């Protein structure tokens, strides 16, 4: 981590409660290590308690503070209960990284009889986070400050055949945050989404075509999230994400053609891989 980023994180989040969902591996674990090094009082959420504890041990070994709360975010009741527990036991979060997610790559044709794919992605990325945040936001608003940053994806800028269940869930969370931000911003609590490009983690590993593609490290992606955490923007994306979004808007047929070509490459690489 660059010295200046660590210093800014320390000033903003040192000694304050920071909640990271999906803190057990990948981008969330990388962000947790950086926030821990900057002195944040971390609360790490994911399903796998042992993996969470291992990240928390690393944070503590580096002089940081971390506790773990294993939770299945697909269970909205459990997610809300976890939010209530954090609100009762911790100071109002200065930052919530809504980072946990589950991706599925499956065409509509191959998804017949599999409506549960949509339920799984929606419940992880959207409903679970909404249930958690609804319990945390009142204390943050009462404190008059706080930031929520979601790990979204640059793929939302363009049509992406095969990724509908995953991307619809990501879009739902982005939209919810955008609308709630308009309610909470006057109280000093800002909500935003970061559209990350491809990142080399357990999530992207099963897609064979991504093995050769340019991808960020989890640490580089975590830095994107953390820079956004220090700011107040509603949406952060790579410059090419905005350009792709505009192109898809102005020339939707062209965007569909490019997306279908890309999907064919993914399918061919999947058969080879």
Ligand X SMILES: NC(=O)c1ccc[n+]([C@@H]2O[C@H](COP(=O)([O-])OP(=O)(O)OC[C@H]3O[C@@H](n4cnc5c(N)ncnc54)[C@H](OP(=O)(O)O)[C@@H]3O)[C@@H](O)[C@H]2O)c1
Does residue 166 carry a catalytic annotation? yes
Q: Which residues contact 105 (CB under 8 A, 6 or more apart)?
A: 162, 163, 166, 206, 207, 266
Considering only residues 22 through 41, tell me which ones interact with ligand X, judged by CB under 6 A. Answer: 22, 24-28
For residue 265, the SS3 value is helix
Tell me which residues in 58-87 interact with ligand X (CB under 6 A): 71-74
127 near ligand X, judged by CB under 6 A:
no
Task: Report the b/e string of 110-141 with b at 16+ CB within 10 A.
Answer: ebeeeeebbebbbbbbbbbbbbbbebbbebbb
Cα separation, 156 vs 245, in Å, equals: 8
* 50 in contact with ligand X (CB under 6 A): no
Measured between alpha carbons, how far is 123 from 130 in angstroms, rounded to an integer? 9
In the complex, minimum distance from the CB of residue 198 to ligand X, in angstroms, rounded to a whole number: 4
Exactly one of 126, 163, 166, 176 is catalytic; name it: 166
Question: Which CB sits closer to ligand X, 127 or 144?
Answer: 127
- How far from 267 is each of 106, 176, 180, 209, 210, CA to CA, in Å? 10, 32, 38, 8, 11
The answer to whether residue 92 forms part of the interface with ligand X (CB under 6 A) is: no
Q: Does 219 bind ligand X (CB under 6 A)?
A: no
- If the CB atoms of residues 185 and 240 are measured against ligand X, the closer one turns out to be 240
- Interacting residue with ligand X among 18, 31, 32, 46 (CB under 6 A): 46
Q: Name the residues that contact ligand X, by CB under 6 A.
A: 22, 24-28, 46-48, 51, 71-74, 99-103, 124, 151, 153, 196, 198-199, 201-204
């Amino acid at each position: 981590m660059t010295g200046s980023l660590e210093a800014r994180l320390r000033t903003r989040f040192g000694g304050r409660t920071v909640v990271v969902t999906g803190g057990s591996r990948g981008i969330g674990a990388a962000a947790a290590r950086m926030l821990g090094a900057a002195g944040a009082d971390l609360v790490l959420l994911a399903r796998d308690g042992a993996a969470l504890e291992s990240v928390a041990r690393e944070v503590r070994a580096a002089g940081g503070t971390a506790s773990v709360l294993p939770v299945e975010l697909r269970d909205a009741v459990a997610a809300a209960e976890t939010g209530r527990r954090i609100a009762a036991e911790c100071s109002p979060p200065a930052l919530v990284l809504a980072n946990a997610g589950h991706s599925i790559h499956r065409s509509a044709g191959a998804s017949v009889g599999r409506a549960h794919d949509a339920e799984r992605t929606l419940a992880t990325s959207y409903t679970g986070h909404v249930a958690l945040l609804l319990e945390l936001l009142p204390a943050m608003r009462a404190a008059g400050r706080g930031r929520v940053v979601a790990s979204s994806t640059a793929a939302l800028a363009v049509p992406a055949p095969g990724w509908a269940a995953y991307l619809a869930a990501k879009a739902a969370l982005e939209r919810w945050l955008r609308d709630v931000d308009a309610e909470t911003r006057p109280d000093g609590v800002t909500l935003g989404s970061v559209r990350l490009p491809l990142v080399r983690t357990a999530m992207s590993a099963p897609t064979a075509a991504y093995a050769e593609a340019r991808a960020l490290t989890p640490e580089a992606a975590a830095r994107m999230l953390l820079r956004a955490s220090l700011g107040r923007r509603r949406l952060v994306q790579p410059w090419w994400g905005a350009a792709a979004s505009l192109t898809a808007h102005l020339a939707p047929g062209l965007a569909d053609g490019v997306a279908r070509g890309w999907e064919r490459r993914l399918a061919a690489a999947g058969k080879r891989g």
